[in-house]
Amino acid sequence: MWYLVLCTIAIVTIILTQWVYSWRNPRCNGRLPPGSMGFPILGETLQFFSSNISSDVPPFIKKRMEKYGSLFRTSLVGWPVVISTDPELSRFIIQQEGKLFRSWYMDSFDDIVGRQNVLSVHGVLHKYLKNLILNLFGPESLRQRLLPEVEETTRQHLQLWSSQASVEVKEAIANMIFDFTAKKLISYEEAKSSEKLRENYAAFLDGLISFPLNIPGTSYHKCLQGRKKALRILKNMLHERRASPRQRVDFLDLIVEELEKDDTILTEGIAIDLLFALPFATYETTSTALTLAIQFLGDHPSALAELTKEHEAILRTREDVDSGITWKEYKSMNFTVMVINETIRLANIVPGIFRKALRDVEIKGYTIPAGWAVIVCPPAVHLNPAEYDDPLAFNPWRWKELELNSGSKNFMGFGGGVRLCVGAEFVKLQMAIFLHHLVTKYR
pLDDT at site 209: 62
β-strands 101-103, 353-357 pairing: antiparallel
User: How many percent of the chain have pLDDT more than 90?
Assistant: 40
CA 375 – CA 377 distance, rounded (Å) = 6
Of 118-132, 135-149, 382-396, the least confident: 118-132
Q: How confident is the model at residue 21 (pLDDT cuts 50, 70, 90)?
A: low
Say whether 421 counts as a known binding-site residue.
yes
**pLDDT per residue as tens digits for the range 47-66:** 887 777 778 888 999 999 99
| Selection from 169, 114, 86, 144 nearest residue 368 by Cα | 86
**Which ranges in 163-261 belong to alpha helices (H)?**
169-186, 197-206, 219-243, 251-260
Q: What is the mean pLDDT of residues 200-215?
A: 67
User: What pTM, to 2 d.p., does this model score?
Assistant: 0.88
**pLDDT per residue as tens digits for the range 360-369:** 999 988 999 9
pLDDT at site 82: 94
Q: Would the pLDDT of 314 be above 90?
A: yes
Please name the amino acid found at residue 53. Answer: I
**pLDDT per residue as tens digits for the range 81-105:** 999 999 999 999 999 988 999 888 7
CA 321 – CA 324 distance, rounded (Å) = 8
**pLDDT per residue as tens digits for the range 294-305:** 999 999 999 999
Q: What is the mean pLDDT of residues 249-257?
A: 88
CA 203 – CA 374 distance, rounded (Å) = 28
Radius of gyration of the chain (CA): 24
Q: What is the mean pLDDT of residues 415-443?
A: 89
Residue 191 per-residue DSSP state: G
pLDDT at site 416: 79
**pLDDT per residue as tens digits for the range 143-180:** 988 999 999 999 999 999 999 999 999 999 999 998 89
CATH number of this structure's domain 86-441, picked from the four choices 3.30.70.2500, 1.10.287.3510, 2.60.40.10, 1.10.630.10: 1.10.630.10
